Amino acid sequence: MLGKIWDEHEILRHPSGPSLLYIDRDMIHEGSFHAFADLKRRGMKPRRPKQIFGVADHYVPTLGRTSSAAASPAIAHMIDTFDENMEWGGVRHFGLTSRAQGIVHVVAPEQGITLPGLTIVCSDSHTSTQGALGAIAFGIGQSENAHVLATQTIWQLRPKTMRVTINGRLGHGVTAKDVMLALIARIGAAGAGGHAIEFAGQVVRDMSIEGRLTLCNMSIEAAARFGMVAPDETTFAYVRGRNYAPNDGEWEGAVSHWRSLVSDADAEFDREIVMDGSDIAPMVTWGTSPEDALSIEDRVPDPASFESADKRKAVEKSLDYMELAPGTALSGLKLDKVFIGSCTNSRIEDLRAAAAILKGRKATIPAIVVPGSTQVKEQAEREGLAAIFRDAGFEWRDSGCSMCAAMNGDVVGPGERCASTSNRNFVGRQGPGARTHLVSPAMAAAAAIHGCLTDVRRI
Amino acid sequence: MKAFTRETSTVAVIPGVNCDTDQIIPGRFLKADRAQGYGQFLFHDIRRTDAHELDPAFPLNRPGAERSTVLLVEDNFGCGSSREGAVYALVDHGIRALIGPSFGDIFFNNALKNGLVPVRLAADQCQSLAEHLNRFPDAEVTVDLAASELILPGNLGRHPIIIDAFARECILQGLDEIEMTFTYMDKIKAFESDRMASHAWLAR
Ligand code: SF4
């Protein structure tokens, strides 16, 4: 699949190796201001503005929908600059009050901007999310972004391929998030470096688009260049009728082309990983890298149990930061906060899973839900999920990245311990000194009820 | 981009596997205009103690460290967020090259676009270099991009620098990639009009 989509977008190959790839769509967010500054310095404008879409997400307030609600003037300035740049570049964009506003990787599939067979870039590492629909989607830096805006192309070396096959079925209470944490724990945070992952197997075929988006989202946490899932009937049903998808007249042609992109039965991959879905338990991270993940039934590991000296050192450091002693049971670990949100787990299905656990119960610690987009928010309100969250004592916020990266001022305080449905438990990611435990939405809900890490299967 | 041909320097050793871009530059500084320089944010939080003072034990805070334009780093350096601010912080601090076993992919590309040379060196060689530097902190390495060679101190030998030829050419000449790509604009336009003919919905 990678090869087919790649070849279809290769304008030329430079004698020294990299391909000049045509980029179908580029997504822009507030952090892209460097790329716009670069264009302005050169006296250029975006070359193909209709193939560029902007959405404000990283810095947006989640309590209020104007930039004046932002946590600080500097943050408000980021949002205003974004709007100005979009106007200047003639780029279609979804501002704070748009119904289409949300986290870029939630919005792009939702609006039909992400489609099978496309090349999509965004200056954000989790662009890998969008490969879930059968696209080549990857994160780029601001220099590359300026290059795409100016030329609608990018120079890229073709990555190696890795197939991750997940056979069987997932157990009760086990989700796409747990699959990814289990995979990253197994192959390491650098495990898929230089590779494009294609997810396959029964578990993936049975999975909704929401779940597949979660898989591909976190493939970057294993250092993969792209994450992809072959498009199938589930994909086509999801895509049909979305705003920027092919219209009814174009539909049949598009689908038949998309079907042809699927990997052939005898396709060879540079690496193969096979997992059994029924072996995976609800997972939780204990350290400061997503590879530091274990089943909720496990205990904090002893640094001495790791083979490599580097890893032993790293584990000691992260346990120190996390203020955890080796041998502590993960289940029952006291928390200060719960965050449900981020491009990993803020789609409607994630909110449904959390609400199913919370229904008729109360959170015993501060907890917030930040829907991935305004559309998700409205849908959740219609479905009665918002009421369940509110009744349980959760704060029900407006959409954005929020506490995932703490750029908008929604932070976990120094020393506080947070169960989070986001994707990175890095030192300081959710605020200086914050301690993050990555979990699925259902596990986050269970944690909120008990005020500690809790096996959702026991609820 | 500043051209890079050859750089000889002492080496600062940055400890830690999976050193992510949040460590290289915390997210809260990414709002800053590049004009004010990003060097001040480099490793901002890990350079400091809990009392927010510069930690004398952190390698870049040691006397003489400001002379080092080359860093020795551990596995998967620059993983995580795609923020190019991480590269800006290194470049604005005066860092010109990195040596490590592996780098985050997006970070690696970002580095190349900014003339920062990431050199991949086998893990055991990195280990030997770290041990050597421990004994001889003033030892120097030479990153000779023109000759595609990393020259290590003592008897640690010479090692090939493997960077794709295209990026290498751009960095050696300090070439601007956008201008270079514009020389292919005829081909891009021809490709584009074919693509739009079969994917009209792409640009509606
Ligand atoms: S939700 Fe988090 S990971 Fe996703 S785009 Fe926003 S900041 Fe990045």
- Reduce the DSSP state of residue A315 to 3 states and report it: helix
CA-nearest of A426, A219, A443 to A317 is A426
- What residue type is assigned to position A229 of the chain? V
B122 near A CB under 8 A:
no
Please tell me the distance between residue A251's alpha carbon and the centre of ligand 1 in angstroms. 32
By the 8 A CB rule, do A459 and A357 touch? yes
Domain boundary assignment for chain A? 1-280, 283-458
Task: State the CB neighbour count (10 A cutoff) for residue A113.
Answer: 25
CA distance A155 to B165: 12
- Residue A409 and residue B28: Cα distance in Å, rounded? 9
Residue B109 touches partner A, C-beta closer than 8 Å = yes
C-alpha B58: how far from its chain's center?
Answer: 19
Q: List pLDDT tens digits, range B32-77.
A: 989 899 999 999 999 998 888 999 999 999 988 989 999 999 999 9
How many DSSP H helices and E strands does chain B contain? 7, 7
The residue assigned the tokens 């086509």 is A236
| Closest to B150 in 3D by CA, of B104, B98, B113, B111 | B98
Helix axes A348-358, A441-450, angle to 10 degrees: 30
Q: Do A424 and B22 touch (CB under 8 A)?
A: yes
Structure confidence at residue B145 (pLDDT): 96
- Partners of B17 on chain A (C-beta within 8 Å) are 310-311, 314
What is the distance between the alpha carbons of residues A96 and A113, in angstroms, rounded to a whole number?
19
| B181–A155 CB contact, under 8 Å | yes
Is B171 in CB contact (< 8 Å) with chain A? no
Q: How far is B44 from chain A (nearest CA, A)?
A: 11
Q: How many Cβ atoms from other residues are within 10 Å of residue A433's Cβ?
A: 16
Decide: A124 in ligand 1 pocket, CB within 6 A: yes
> Which helix H or strand E contains A444, and what residues bound it?
helix A441-450
Give contacts of B177 with chain A, Cβ < 8 Å. 143, 147, 155
pLDDT at B112: 93
Please indicate whether residue A440, judged by its CB atom, sits closer than 6 Å to ligand 1: no
CA distances, A196 to each of A137, A158, B164 (Å):
10, 9, 18
Model pLDDT, residue A15: 85
Site to probe by mutation for ligand 1, drawn from A60, A114, A124 as the one with most ligand atoms within 8 Å of Cβ, is A124
Ligand 1 and A435: CB distance under 6 A: no
Identify which of A401, A159, A198 has the alpha carbon closest to the alpha carbon of residue B106.
Answer: A159
Q: What are the chain B neighbours of A59 within 8 Å (beta carbons)? A: 31
Q: What is the DSSP letter of A40?
A: H
Residue type, A240: R
Encoded tokens for A299: 């205990």
| Nearest CB neighbour to B22, from listed A139, A311, A428 | A428
Whether A369 contacts A396, CB under 8 Å: yes
CB-based contact A436:A422 (threshold 8 Å): yes
Average pLDDT, chain B: 94
DSSP-assigned beta bridge partners for residue A452: A334
Q: CA-CA distance, B178 to A146, in Å (whole number)?
A: 8
Q: Look at domain A283-458 and name its CATH class.
A: alpha beta
Q: What ipTM did this prediction achieve?
A: 0.92
Q: Does A429 touch chain B (CB under 8 A)?
A: yes
Torsion of CA A97, A103, A106, A108, to 10 degrees: 70
Residues making up chain B, counted from first to last: 204
Residues 6+ positions from A93 with CB-CB distance below 8 Å: A28, A53, A54, A55, A56, A82, A83, A86
A144 vs B23: CB contact, 8 Å cut-off?
no
- The predicted pLDDT at position A16 comes to 80
Judged by CB atoms within 8 Å, which residues 18-57 of B form the interface with A? 18, 20, 22-23, 26-28, 30-31, 34, 45-46
pLDDT digits (tens), chain A, 459 positions: 999 999 999 999 988 889 999 999 999 999 999 999 999 999 999 999 999 999 999 999 999 999 899 999 999 999 999 999 999 999 999 999 999 999 999 999 999 999 999 999 999 999 999 999 999 999 999 999 999 999 999 999 999 999 999 999 999 999 999 999 999 999 999 999 999 999 999 999 999 999 999 999 999 999 999 999 999 999 999 999 999 999 999 999 999 999 999 988 889 999 999 999 999 999 999 999 999 999 999 999 999 999 888 889 889 999 999 999 999 999 999 999 999 999 999 999 999 999 999 999 999 999 999 999 999 999 999 999 999 999 999 999 999 999 999 999 999 999 999 999 999 999 999 999 999 999 999 999 999 999 999 999 998
Is the CB of residue A370 below 6 angstroms from any atom belonging to ligand 1?
A: no
Asked if B31's CB is within 8 angstroms of A77's CB, the reply is yes
A1-280 and A283-458 share one CATH topology? yes
Instruction: Name the β-bridge partners of A156.
Output: A19
B75: which 2 tokens? 């596995």
A134 contacts: CB under 8 Å, gap ≥ 6:
A1, A5, A116, A117, A228, A229, A230, A231, A235, A258, A261, A262
Sheet holding A417-420, edge to edge: A395-396, A367-369, A337-340, A417-420, A435-438
DSSP 3-state assignment of A10? Answer: strand
Question: For chain B, first and last CA: distance in Å?
Answer: 36
Q: Note whether B83 contacts A: Cβ–Cβ < 8 A.
A: yes
A31:B27 CB<8 A = no
Give the DSSP letter of residue A15. T
In angstroms, what CA-CA distances link B90 with B16, B110, B179?
17, 11, 25
pTM above 0.90, yes or no: yes
Helix axes A33-42, A73-89, angle to 10 degrees: 50
**How do residues A404-449 score in pLDDT, each as one tens digit?**
999 999 999 999 999 999 999 999 999 999 999 999 999 999 999 9
- Give B109's pLDDT tier (boundaries 50, 70, 90): very high
A251 and chain B: CB distance < 8 Å anywhere? no
Does residue A291 belong to the interface with chain B, where contact is any CB pair within 8 Å?
yes
Q: Is B147 helix (H, G, I), strand (E, B) or coil?
A: coil
Asked if residues A26 and A103 have their Cβ atoms less than 8 Å apart, the reply is no
Closest in B178, B184, B199 to A146, CB measured = B178
Mean pLDDT of chain A: 96
Find which of A39, A143, A240 to mutate to test the B interface (most B CBs within 10 Å of its CB). Answer: A143
Q: Does B166 touch chain A (CB under 8 A)?
A: yes
**Cα separation of A127 and B82, whole Å?**
10
Distance from the Cα of B170 to chain A's closest Cα (Å) equals 11
Q: Is the pLDDT of residue B176 over 90?
A: no
Residues 6+ apart with CB under 8 A from A169: A202, A203, A206, A277, A278
Query: What pLDDT is stored for residue A180 in this prediction?
Result: 98
Q: Find the helix packing angle between A348-358 and A374-382, rounded to 10°.
A: 40
Contact A313 B110 (CB under 8 A): no
Kindly state the helix (H) or strand (E) to which residue A251 belongs, with its residue range. helix A248-259
Q: Which of B177, B178, B184 sits opposite A12 (nearest CB)?
A: B184
Do A296 and A282 contact (CB within 8 A), yes or no?
A: yes
Residue A424 contacts B, CB cutoff 8 Å: yes
Nearest CA distance, B161 vs chain A (angstrom): 15
**CATH code reported for the domain at A1-280:** 3.30.499.10
Is the shortest distance between the CB of A429 and ligand 1 below 6 Å?
A: no
